Amino acid sequence: MALILGIESSCDETAVAIIDGSAGSLEARIVAQRIASQDAEHAPYGGVVPEIAARAHAEVIAPMVGAVLADAGLTLEDMDAIAATAGPGLIGGVMVGLVTGKALAMAADKPLIGVNHLEGHALSPRLADPDLAYPYLLLLVSGGHCQILEVRGLGDYRRLATTIDDALGEAFDKTAKILGLGYPGGPAVERLAREGDPRAVLLPRPLVGSGEPHFSFAGLKSAVMRAKDSGLHADADIAASFQQAAIDCVIDRTRLALESVRDSGAAGMSALVVAGGVAANAALRGALETLAAGFGLRLVAPPGKLCTDNAAMIGWAGAERFALGYTDPLDLPARPRWPLDANAAPVRGAGVKA
Ligand code: KG4
Ligand code: ZN
């Protein structure tokens, strides 16, 4: 048994999990886990308020560690290592989780593993699917990130594409806000889209057909706003048309990345993998499955609960690191920005977002 305590607090979910890194199935690997969502605290503001998030993490995190250990019938002494998200994310929240992890590691004399939140998402499909081997092509789509990465091995990532403005989840959240669907918006847009006609509203497909596989969603969001303001369309039609336009963009961009990897002579990809909160979207999964099949690849998508932020993916990334002997010192800094591919060139037109 390699038991890892995982802690996640980089955005608006406080989460703690215990992972058995040596188990062979998803069910056996997640020994226990709890997630406290802050949705209710942030809903009045239509988005995550960093100060409120940090305070809420600080309130619940220590009791949550105790509760997860109790759920598992284990103690801190039973853990082999403590893994905590060390970035990227809202710095106040990251600090709460990382310092909690450090304190536990020090008190129990266990190694600390600082996990990159994006690596947690990137490896979550390997937690869910024990057969998923490196290398694979990863579409990472969350509220803060929208990237295509070649995952060559643990800690070895090559970024092929990123967004030059908004992340995909952000586009779903902004569309939800425009349509008055509340926060978090992605699941609400997906629900409403089921009742609408995806061809009803003519919306742009930014960057589709361009020679590099980058993303852009700001223009799409503005078009959604104009469609709403026109008063000509039912909300369900706007939601369905937005979702279709966004998916068309993702498919076109991912196809380009798949082609470039296929033609580059790099080691063959074992699968197309989608992770991050927006990977919970069933329409997106369906379209990606068809795309992958066209390249003779299978699509691997973790169950929805492992797509949105959770601590199981952090514990799992910690378990993969622990197995290779990677641990971190107790003065490890919390990082608001922490790209998976440090060598990726900046993208022209990219704004200030991480
Ligand atoms: O990975 P995640 O939980 O947090 C970040 O690290 O950003 O992703 C949250 C994002 C939000 O933007 C949320 O609206 C989106 O994922 N999301 C969805 C769905 N479920 C969550 N977007 C579209 N369809 C969904 N079903
Ligand atoms: Zn995330």
- Domains with residue ranges and CATH for the chain: 3-124+305-353 (3.30.420.40), 134-301 (3.30.420.40)
Choice from 278, 288, 313 to test ligand 1 binding pocket (greatest atom count within 8 A of CB): 278
Residue of the nearest CA to atom 8 in ligand 1? 277
pLDDT of residue 47: 82
Residue of the nearest CA to atom 13 in ligand 1? 186
**Distance from the Cα of residue 202 to its chain's centroid:** 29
pLDDT of residue 45: 85
CA dist., res. 61 & res. 225, Å (int): 38
**Per-residue model confidence as pLDDT tens for the chain (354 residues):** 799 999 999 999 999 999 999 999 999 999 999 999 998 899 888 788 999 999 999 999 999 999 999 999 999 999 999 999 999 999 999 999 999 999 999 999 999 999 999 999 999 999 999 999 999 999 999 999 999 999 999 999 999 999 999 999 999 999 999 999 987 799 999 999 999 999 999 999 999 999 999 999 999 999 999 999 999 999 999 999 999 999 999 999 999 999 999 998 777 899 999 999 999 999 999 999 999 999 999 999 999 999 999 999 999 999 999 999 999 999 999 999 999 999 998 886 654 433
How many Å lie between the centroid of ligand 1 and the Cα of residue 168? 8
322-344 burial code (b ≥16 CB/10 A, e <16): beeeebbeeebebbeebbbbeeb
Query: Could you tell me how many helices (H) and strands (E) the chain has, helices first?
Result: 12, 10
How many Å lie between the centroid of ligand 1 and the Cα of residue 2? 30
Rg (CA), the chain: 20
143 lines ligand 1 (CB under 6 A): yes
172 lines ligand 1 (CB under 6 A): yes
328 lines ligand 1 (CB under 6 A): no
DSSP character at residue 131: T
How many Å lie between the centroid of ligand 1 and the Cα of residue 142? 5
Quick one: 42 exposed, middle or buried, by C-beta within 10 A (0-12, 13-18, 19+)?
A: buried
CA dist., res. 52 & res. 98, Å (int): 18
How many Å lie between the centroid of ligand 1 and the Cα of residue 139? 13
278 lines ligand 1 (CB under 6 A): yes
pLDDT of residue 353: 39
Name, in order, each residue with C-beta under 8 angstroms of 250's C-beta and a sequence gap of 6 or more.
139, 141, 168, 215, 284, 287, 288
Is residue 242 within 8 Å of 283, Cβ to Cβ? no
CA dist., res. 143 & res. 63, Å (int): 27
CA dist., res. 45 & res. 52, Å (int): 11
Prior bond of 184 cis (ω within 30°): yes
**Distance from the Cα of residue 72 to its chain's centroid:** 26
How many Å lie between the centroid of ligand 2 and the Cα of residue 213? 22
DSSP string covering 15-51: EEEEEETT-SSHHHHEEEEEEEE-HHHHGGGTS--HH
How many Å lie between the centroid of ligand 2 and the Cα of residue 118? 7
Q: How many CB atoms are closer than 10 A to CB 175?
A: 28
Q: What is the pTM of this model?
A: 0.94
**3-class secondary-structure state, position 82:** strand
277 lines ligand 1 (CB under 6 A): yes
